[in-house]
């Protein structure tokens, strides 16, 4: 199955064969937060004037009051003390970043460097000519990021827009499971059931988990599977549905058939009482996590970021005999697939067209992507927040302390984990095998990697990052239909799930098609189909993704 975006595969894959930890980057010694010594820099006869820039940072409300805020805290101070430029951070609400950035851009007060994960948002700003091309600033002022681009040209190809210029700053990720499907193996054993391998078996096991008292408390108080959180996404992947468009028989089409099959299956689960009836109120999936940790959920579709040491230890404390295993997604009528895995290359940043000091911006980017600085922001200060374990990798000393003091992920968005070598796979190396619960979690994580990073059960498609930028009028069509038709939160699909016999999945798809066509959606479908027809020999494909994963894994070892 082949999907999405630009780039000559032969050049890419020959480059990937040479994956190694970046050499030649600056490795100047940096000071710990709170130290009074100055950075170890190379003396200059006449020091250049120090630049000053403004950079966005997601505000998740996760900085304890005693630590400060995004104007001043230990890490902001450390970056300004050790980095090459003066930085002021503009906090942006994580889940309301688009309207906030739009307001800042409209008022002329947007940051010089905008860090934003969502490709649709970045594409919107590009189409409005609000972004600065960065080719020239890289050529003139960069060392570290320029070297990364040379070693991994896919970064340049994906960050380049239709005008042939580079606009986006990207990072290299370790390919790892992003979503998983976990199951209570002890419940299976108690009820004499096997891990389900088909959608019919999945339904039957979920039904048994609800009706046959798997926790043995004599009450009908367990759920079979979750629809909240990432449940809709994981179940859609079972039916080969990822994004709205997919390659089928050499063409790129809007895929309605697989979506209908997914909605029909989820509707059946809901109608038959196998899921939490209140899943719509569980907006962020936290109720599902609590149900799982409390031993009330048998099959759990979960984001890997939520499957933490703390959550697993809570599960074991509440249910000492619980045995959890990851399971391959069951086979559907469309084949067998895997849930979302991390993309190997991810665009994360753009430069404001009104930025006044491209040199300072580039100096900041170069410093932040340096593996030494990125590692420190990721792991904290060695001896304070982390220490080397038996595997030679830094591991947390006190997870509770780090929750309070190590709130650096959003500062560190440009970090390329692939450049950190074998210690990049934190979901493996941060666990201590000598601790029984962590050994169990390590085994689960290793098995998840084996199951989901598997080209025999591929992900259905790559993400929107690999699609071309739509013209403004076509973007407006997509935006106007998103409330009703959004792939996993659209009103039409949610209405179908809870609408009983009065509103079928078939009717929901018909209604969604009507909304799409009345808005002019055929123009979008035609645009993507034509793009794919003209570029399918050059696009980055699913096969290329798994070759990247295989080759990069060899280097990580």
**What are 351-360's pLDDT values in tens digits?**
999 999 999 9
Asked if 289 and 229 touch (Cβ cutoff 8 Å), the reply is yes
Are the C-beta atoms of 229 and 285 separated by less than 8 Å?
yes
Mean per-residue pLDDT over the chain, rounded? 89
Mind giving me the DSSP string for 335-395?
Answer: B-----B--SEEEEEEEBTT-S-HHHHHHHHHHHHSHHHHHHHHH-SBTTTEEE-TTSSEE
Q: How confident is the model at residue 305 (pLDDT cuts 50, 70, 90)?
A: confident
Q: How many CB atoms lie within 10 A of CB 420?
A: 24
Ramachandran quadrant class, 470 (left: phi over 0; alpha: psi -120 to 50; beta: rest)? beta
Highest mean pLDDT among 111-120, 121-130, 195-204: 195-204
Phi, psi of 168 (to 5 degrees): -110, 140
Is the model's pLDDT at 488 over the cut of 70?
A: no
- Cα 229 vs. chain centroid, distance in angstroms? 14
CB atoms near residue 319 (< 10 Å): 18
Are the C-beta atoms of residues 131 and 125 closer than 8 Å to each other? Answer: yes
Query: Residues for the chain: how many in total?
Result: 557
Residue-wise pLDDT for 52-108, tens only, equals 999 999 999 999 999 999 999 999 999 999 999 999 999 999 989 999 999 999 999
475-478: Cβ within 8 A, 24+ apart: 475/120, 475/123, 475/124, 475/127, 477/519, 477/520, 477/521, 477/523, 477/524, 478/120, 478/521, 478/524
Q: Where are the alpha helices (DSSP H) in 168-308?
A: 185-190, 199-211, 231-238, 257-271, 286-293
> Which CATH code fits 179-240+256-341+433-452?
3.40.190.10
pTM summary value: 0.78
What tokens were used for 176? 């790892």
Strands (E), 132-269: 168-172, 179-184, 223-225, 245-248, 251-254
pLDDT band at 554 (very low <50, low <70, confident <90, very high): confident
Domain spans of the chain, in order of start: 24-42+49-175+343-428, 179-240+256-341+433-452
Residue 490's pLDDT band (boundaries 50, 70, 90)? confident
Question: How confident is residue 322, by pLDDT bands cut at 50, 70 and 90?
Answer: very high
pLDDT at 46: 64
Q: Is the pLDDT of residue 543 over 50?
A: yes
Same fold, 24-42+49-175+343-428 and 179-240+256-341+433-452: yes
Token duo for residue 395: 């591991």
Is beta strand 179-184 parallel, antiparallel or unpaired with respect to 386-388?
unpaired
Tell me, what's the pLDDT at 14?
A: 45
| pLDDT higher than threshold 60 for residue 27 | no
Location of structure tokens 């290299």: 172
pLDDT for 331 beyond 50 = yes
CA 445 to chain centre: 17
CA distance 27 to 144: 10
The topology (CATH level 3) of 24-42+49-175+343-428 is D-Maltodextrin-Binding Protein; domain 2 (3.40.190)
């Amino acid at each position: 199955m082949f999907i999405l975006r630009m780039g000559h595969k032969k050049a890419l894959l020959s480059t990937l064969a040479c994956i190694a930890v970046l050499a030649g980057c600056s490795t100047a010694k940096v000071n710990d937060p709170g130290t009074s010594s100055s950075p170890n820099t190379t003396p200059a006869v006449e020091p250049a004037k120090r630049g000053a820039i403004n950079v966005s940072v997601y505000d998740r409300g996760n900085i304890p009051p005693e630590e400060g805020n995004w104007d001043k805290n230990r890490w902001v101070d450390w970056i300004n003390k050790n980095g090459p430029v003066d930085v002021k951070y503009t906090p942006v609400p994580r889940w309301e970043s688009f309207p906030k950035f739009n307001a800042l851009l409209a008022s002329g007060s947007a940051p010089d460097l905008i860090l934003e994960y969502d490709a649709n948002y970045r594409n919107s700003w590009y189409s409005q000519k609000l972004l600065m091309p960065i080719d020239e600033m890289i050529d003139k002022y960069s060392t570290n990021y320029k070297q990364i681009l040379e070693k991994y040209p896919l970064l340049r190809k994906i960050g380049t827009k239709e005008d042939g210029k580079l606009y986006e700053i990207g990072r290299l990720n370790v390919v790892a499971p992003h979503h998983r499907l976990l199951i209570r193996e002890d419940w299976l054993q108690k009820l004499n059931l096997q891990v389900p391998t088909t959608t019919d078996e999945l339904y039957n096991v979920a039904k048994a988990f609800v009706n046959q008292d798997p926790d043995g408390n004599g009450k009908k108080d367990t759920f079979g599977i979750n629809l909240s959180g990432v449940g809709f996404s994981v179940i859609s992947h079972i039916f080969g549905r990822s994004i709205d468009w997919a390659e089928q028989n050499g063409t790129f089409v809007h895929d309605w058939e697989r979506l209908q099959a997914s909605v029909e299956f989820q509707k059946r689960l809901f109608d038959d009482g196998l899921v939490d009836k209140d899943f719509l109120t569980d907006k962020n999936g936290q109720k599902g996590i609590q149900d799982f940790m409390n031993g009330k959920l048998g099959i759990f579709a979960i984001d890997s970021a939520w499957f933490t040491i703390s959550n697993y230890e809570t599960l074991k404390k509440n249910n000492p005999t619980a045995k959890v295993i990851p399971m391959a997604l069951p086979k559907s009528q469309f084949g067998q697939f895997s849930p979302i895995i991390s993309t190997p290359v991810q665009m994360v940043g753009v430069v404001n067209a009104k930025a006044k000091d491209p040199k300072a911006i580039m100096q900041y980017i170069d410093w932040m992507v340096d593996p030494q600085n990125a590692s420190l922001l990721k792991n904290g200060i060695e001896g304070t927040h982390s220490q080397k374990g038996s595997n030679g990798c830094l591991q947390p000393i006190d997870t509770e302390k780090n929750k309070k003091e190590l709130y650096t992920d959003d500062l560190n968005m440009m970090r390329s984990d692939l450049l950190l070598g074998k210690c990049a796979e934190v979901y493996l190396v941060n666990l201590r095998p000598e601790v029984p619960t962590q050994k169990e979690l390590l085994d689960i994580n290793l098995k998840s990697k084996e199951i989901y990073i598997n080209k025999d059960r591929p992900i259905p498609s790559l993400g929107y990052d690999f699609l071309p930028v739509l013209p403004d009028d076509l973007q407006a069509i997509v935006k106007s239909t998103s409330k009703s038709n959004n792939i996993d939160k659209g009103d039409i699909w949610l209405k179908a799930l809870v609408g009983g016999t009065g509103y079928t999945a078939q009717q929901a798809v018909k209604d969604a098609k009507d909304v799409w066509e009345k808005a002019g959606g055929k123009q979008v479908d035609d645009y993507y189909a034509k793009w794919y027809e003209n570029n399918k020999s050059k696009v980055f494909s699913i096969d290329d993704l798994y070759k990247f994963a295989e080759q990069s894994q060899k280097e990580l070892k």
